[in-house]
């Protein structure tokens, strides 16, 4: 472990956890401890388990100079030593052996619970449906040309207790949610209920929840809705999944709603499900009552949760993908017609040659610039934006400042380093401040990104605002109505640039993506796709063709047993 720590394979935390567990269990077999350390490392990197043989092959490529112990060359014997360890059996076991996967016991329990509960929901008798009323509502609500996919998704959700709706940006997921809810409200009344349909709308972050609420309200303006439906949809609240479940300040992973105290809803819709971790998804599914429809919405091609799990992708695969009767993949984009859509499709398909050709052609406002040109790129649109925001803020023009901030975003793969967020935030601050002072970060025109929810201030992780002087103190305008004193905002960073992870769920007219000039394990197909699909109008990528090719060809490898476990349950049902 010391050798692997020096090589950068194991973090100090991985070693510390492993040694602590080994001491408590009186286990000193080095082969067992290495397996445990790799399982701990896997969770830290977002996996819920580890494939010992697969991860060993990857690490030999990642750290070619490491001299591995001889016992790893006999995989069967290595597994046998792990299986015979007190860490892998008994009431106080830490490891669960399910070759080829090795789980930490907690994450194995989460996988088993999630799949079992989803399987139980799939085995339920379908909900009662007034077919004549449903057919009429679907014709009315989804009668627009090009909405056949959305109509089919709504029909599936009406006939099922659990459904999954996936698709890329602009595929109509939010439109489908609004129209589906209207159809379900009509069904609720048609099947004998005398109270309104109880709906829980949620998303992983406060910002995503706010966007969900706004999008549903905006979608309700379509004339396909009745006046009563329009008024009802506008009143539907949306919050974080944590708030939906009733987070407890005394316990990070326990909630007020659980298997013994179910949620009080008839329908629960979760948006941006790709960002939901394994633990949070398990807690959600156990809290949803059997007589409540659960609709999971998201883009399975996007980056997964920052915590362990790639649940949306695993659930879609485990349910059978596009062949599943409860999964609908919306494929027609109503937003991307040109280069951005073609580029996103090529990335999803893993076609690096096509990606490079599209960028080299520079068609439809997508282009590739070499890292040697990064200063010229940043001196263009990003610097112009910084000055426009500062100018409007100095004039006290809040709408113009916020509009300028929303037009463009500089995205980075890393937080630190020469191609990281911190560096470019400092660089762009110099466009409006001659002598930036880290000790005095606040100034008129500073754009800020909130990095933590604060219910007392009504601010959410992911909120973006602009700093102005109200004559007495500096305040941050998060939108046209929400204003917070800068002294009360402790968890913020400048928002000239942000990581691709933090941009999830947001959209900008123009995006500039800076990738490091050397290969990095952070770079992946999912990161590139997420960044590309943040842009509505134009996209500039700063990277070498070699780095871009590696990013397209590298898929995020998150080991998990969810898809396999859920698939087995589906086949038995």
Over pLDDT 90: what percentage of the chain?
A: 48
For the chain, residues classed under CATH 1.10.10.1020 are: 1-104
Q: Report pLDDT for 36.
A: 95
Given a cut of 80, whether residue 175 has pLDDT beyond it is yes
With H, G, I as helix, E, B as strand and everything else as coil, classify residue 107: helix
Q: What pLDDT score does 334 carry? A: 58
Residue 337: pLDDT over 60? no
β-strand pairing of 492-494 with 162-167: unpaired
Alpha-carbon dihedral sign for residues 23, 24, 25, 31: negative
Provide DSSP, 145-193: TT-HHHHHHHHHHHH-SEEEEEE-TTSSHHHHHHHHHHHHHHHHHHTT-
Sign of CA dihedral 430, 431, 434, 438: negative
Query: Structurally, what CATH architecture does the domain formed by 130-335 represent?
Result: 3-Layer(aba) Sandwich (3.40)
pLDDT averaged over every residue in the chain? 88
Tell me which of 106-115, 176-185, 437-446 is least confident.
Answer: 437-446
**Given this model, what pLDDT does residue 251 score?**
65
User: Cis omega (within 30 of 0) on the bond before 300?
Assistant: no
Domain 370-440+495-542 sits in CATH at: 3.40.50.300
Contacts of residue 131, Cβ cutoff 8 Å, sequence gap at least 6: none
3-state class (DSSP) for residue 517:
coil
Domain with CATH 3.40.50.300 in the chain: 130-335, 370-440+495-542
Q: What percent of the chain has pLDDT over 70?
A: 96
Residue 348 clears pLDDT 60, i.e. is over it = yes
pLDDT at residue 266 above 90?
yes
C-alpha angle 64-68-69 in degrees, rounded to nearest 5: 170
Which of 200-214, 314-328, 333-347 bottoms out in mean pLDDT, i.e. has the lowest? Answer: 333-347
Residues β-bridged to residue 494: 448
Segment 289-324, tens digit of pLDDT = 999 999 999 988 887 777 777 899 999 999 998 888
**514-547 burial by CB neighbour count: b if 16+ within 10 A, else e?**
bbbbeebebbbbbbbbbbbbbbbebbbbbbbeeb
Residue 459, strand partner residues: 454
Q: Can you give the pLDDT at residue 160?
A: 94
CA dist., res. 525 & res. 532, Å (int): 11
pLDDT at position 338 is 66
Beta-bridge mates of residue 368: 541
Mean pLDDT of all residues in 71-91 = 90
The pLDDT value given to residue 207: 77
Residue 287, pLDDT score: 95
Residue-wise pLDDT for 445-477, tens only, equals: 899 988 887 767 777 777 888 999 887 889 999
Q: Please tell me the distance from the alpha carbon of residue 281 to that of residue 407, in angstroms, as a whole number.
A: 33
Residues 449-484 as b/e (b if ≥16 CB within 10 A, e otherwise) read bbeebbeebebbbbbbbbbbeeeeeebbbbeeeeeb
Per-residue pLDDT, averaged over 96-123, amounts to 94
pLDDT of residue 336: 56
Residues paired with residue 511 on neighbouring β-strands, in sequence order = 409, 539
Which CATH number describes the domain made up of 1-104? 1.10.10.1020
Which residues are within 8 A (CB) of 496 and not within 5 positions of it... i.e. 6 or more apart?
A: 382, 385, 386, 410, 424, 425, 428, 429, 447
* Residue 249: pLDDT band with limits 50, 70, 90: low
Least confidently predicted of 221-235, 247-261, 442-456:
247-261
Q: What is the pLDDT of residue 308?
A: 79
């Amino acid at each position: 472990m010391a050798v692997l720590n020096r090589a950068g394979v194991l973090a100090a935390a991985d070693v510390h956890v492993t040694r602590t567990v080994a001491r408590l269990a009186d286990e000193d077999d080095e082969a067992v401890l290495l397996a445990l350390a790799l399982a701990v490392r896997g969770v830290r990197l977002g996996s819920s388990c580890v494939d010992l043989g697969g991860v060993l092959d990857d690490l030999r490529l990642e750290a070619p100079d490491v001299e591995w112990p001889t016992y790893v060359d006999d995989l069967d014997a290595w597994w046998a030593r792990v299986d015979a360890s007190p860490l892998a059996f008994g009431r106080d076991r830490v490891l669960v052996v399910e070759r080829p996967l090795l789980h930490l016991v907690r994450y194995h329990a989460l996988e088993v619970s999630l799949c079992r509960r989803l399987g139980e929901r799939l085995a339920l008798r379908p909900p009662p449906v007034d077919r004549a009323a449903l057919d009429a509502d679907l014709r009315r609500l989804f009668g627009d040309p090009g909405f056949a996919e959305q109509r089919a998704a709504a029909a599936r959700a009406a006939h099922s207790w659990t459904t999954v709706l996936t698709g890329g940006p602009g595929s109509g997921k939010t439109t489908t949610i609004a129209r589906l809810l209207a159809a379900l409200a009509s069904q609720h009344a048609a099947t004998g209920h005398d109270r309104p349909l109880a709906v829980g709308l949620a998303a992983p972050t406060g910002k995503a929840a706010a966007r969900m609420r706004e999008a549903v309200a905006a979608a309700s303006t379509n004339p396909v809705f009745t006046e009563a439906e329009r008024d009802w949809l506008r009143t539907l609240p949306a919050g974080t999944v944590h708030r939906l479940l009733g987070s407890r300040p005394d316990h990070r992973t326990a909630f007020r709603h659980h298997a013994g105290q179910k949620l009080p809803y008839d329908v629960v819709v979760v948006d941006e499900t790709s960002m939901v971790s394994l633990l949070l998804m398990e807690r959600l599914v156990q809290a949803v009552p059997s007589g409540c429809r659960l609709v999971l919405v998201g883009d399975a091609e996007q980056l997964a949760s920052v915590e362990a799990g790639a649940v949306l992708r695993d659930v879609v695969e485990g349910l059978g993908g596009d062949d599943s009767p409860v999964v609908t993949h919306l494929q027609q984009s109503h937003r991307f017609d040109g280069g951005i859509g073609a580029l996103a499709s090529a990335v999803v398909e893993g076609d690096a040659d096509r990606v490079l050709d599209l960028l080299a052609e520079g068609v439809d406002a997508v282009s590739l610039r070499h890292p040697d040109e990064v200063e010229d790129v940043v001196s263009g649109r990003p610097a112009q934006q910084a000055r426009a925001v500062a100018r409007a803020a100095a004039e006290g023009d809040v709408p113009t400042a916020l509009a300028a901030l929303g037009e463009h975003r500089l995205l980075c793969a890393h937080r630190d380093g020469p191609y990281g967020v911190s560096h470019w935030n400092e660089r762009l601050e110099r466009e409006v401040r001659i002598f930036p002072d880290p000790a005095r970060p606040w100034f008129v025109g500073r754009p800020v990104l909130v990095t933590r929810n604060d219910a007392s201030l009504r601010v959410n992780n992911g909120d973006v605002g602009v700093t102005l002087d109200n004559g007495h103190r500096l305040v941050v305008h998060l939108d046209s109505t929400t204003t917070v004193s800068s002294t009360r905002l402790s968890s913020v960073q400048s928002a000239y640039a942000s990581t691709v992870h933090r941009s999830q769920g947001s959209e900008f007219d123009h995006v500039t993506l800076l990738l490091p000039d050397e290969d990095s394990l952070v770079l992946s197909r999912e990161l590139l796709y997420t960044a590309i699909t943040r842009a509505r109008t134009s996209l500039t990528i700063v990277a070498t063709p070699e780095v871009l090719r590696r990013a397209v060809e590298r898929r995020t490898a998150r080991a998990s047993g969810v898809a396999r476990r859920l698939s087995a349950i589906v086949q038995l049902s």
